[in-house]
Structure 1
Amino acid sequence: MAWDEWERLKASAAERNATGTRLNGVPVDHVAEGDLHVSQTDLAAVGNEAHTLYERLRKEGRVAVPTTDRAAGDLSGQGFALGGALKHVSNRWEKQLGSLLDACAHISNHMDVSGRIHQDDDHWIRRSMSSINTLDQGFDESYAPAGAKNPAYAEKDAKGKDGN
């Protein structure tokens, strides 16, 4: 990056106050979305693809194993060292296929619960952030003029709205 480009980027950021930090909340237009957004539809699609791959590998991944094992046995029986090598390849294939099947099953199962877990995390973060803001209001004298009640402690009417 050239020096003049760096200076231009810094000036652009300063113009829009992009260097500010907000610790007590997020802009109102972002509250509905939040920073964490997980679509259960997208997660389900990934999980379904992993399950489909698992099923195909389970059915088709071992098709050649019996033939390969028979050939390995025949070659070994005839005194060829290639028989032992072919059996080794067959055993490695089985082991690697098992690892791949486990990974597909893990992905499929994980996607089933990820949406709910992330949604719970998002709700917890939102509750935590809103309680920090309320606590901050309770200790900050600038929230109410001298002699007036702090609105953080305002009594709620029957509809849950502030009575002030």
Structure 2
Amino acid sequence: MGWDEWERLKAEAAQGRSTRLRLDQLAPGAGGAGSPRGDLTVHQNDLAVIGSAAHELFQDFGRFSDHARLSSMTAAGGLKSQGFVLGAALDHVAERWIGQAQTLLDACAHISNHLRYTKNQHAADESHIAGTLSGITELDHGFDERNGS
């Protein structure tokens, strides 16, 4: 609402004319009030595919990386026991592998958890917004009834 419109509405109200609550909104079909699903849209299918891939990567990588770590540590132990310097280097690589693998596993878990949270939060936001707007509609309807509109 612009300043001129505000001043005009105040003048009309002072003269006893009825004014109504008006919400600024986009034209119907432009993603605003005319959109049946509102602006906050989360498609469960999209989230499910990404979340499923993250969970599958978490499970598979956890299993296979542990196998690689154990095999590398066994080989490193065998090489060290036979006096090869390569054994210590392989042991160092296996230790670093543990940290890197855990970082990737944490990231996969974070993605999966965040998507679940996002879906739930968007649903809650949409419900809150719908409740708030329906309350404004009820209030506006009450003003119309009182004024005989």
Distance 1:98 1:70 in 2: 20
Deviation at 1:81, TM superposition (A): 2.2
Aligned twin of 1:27: 27
Gap runs ≥5 in structure 1? 1-22, 138-150, 157-161
Query: Which structure 2 residues correspond to residues 26-105 of structure 1 after superposition, within 5 A?
Result: 26-29=26-29, 30=31, 31=33, 32-105=36-109
Q: Distance in 1 between matches of 2:137 and 2:24?
A: 5
Identity of matched residues, %? 40
State the shift of 1:79 in Å: 2.8
**Structure 1 residue 113 displacement after superposition:** 2.7
Q: Give the equivalent residue in structure 2 for 1:15.
A: none
Out of 134, 144, 148, the position equivalent to 1:154 is 144
RMSD: 3.1
TM-score by length of 1: 0.60
Task: Measure, in 2, the Cα distance between the counterparts of 1:75 and 1:126.
Answer: 67
What is the CA distance between 1:96 and its match in structure 2? 1.0
Q: 2:117 aligns with which of 109, 113, 134?
A: 113
Cα displacement (A) at 1:75: 2.0
The Cα shift of 1:121 comes to 2.4
Q: 1:103-136 CA distances to partner (integer Å, 9 max, x unpaired)?
A: 111211222232121122234456667888999x
CA contact (8 A) 1:24 1:132 kept: no
Q: How far apart, CA to CA, are the structure 1 residues paired with 2:130 and 2:75?
A: 63
Whether contact under 8 Å (1:24, 1:129) holds in the other structure is no
Between the aligned partners of 1:129 and 1:52, the Cα distance in structure 2 is 40
Structure 2: which amino acid aligns with 1:25?
Answer: Q
Change (3 A) 1:121 1:113: same
Counterparts of 1:155 and 1:60, CA distance in 2:
69
- Which structure has more helix as a fraction of its residues? 2
Paired residue total: 123
Offset of residue 71 of structure 1: 1.6
Amino acid at match of 2:144: A
SS at match of 2:76: helix
| Letter in structure 2 aligned against 1:49 | A
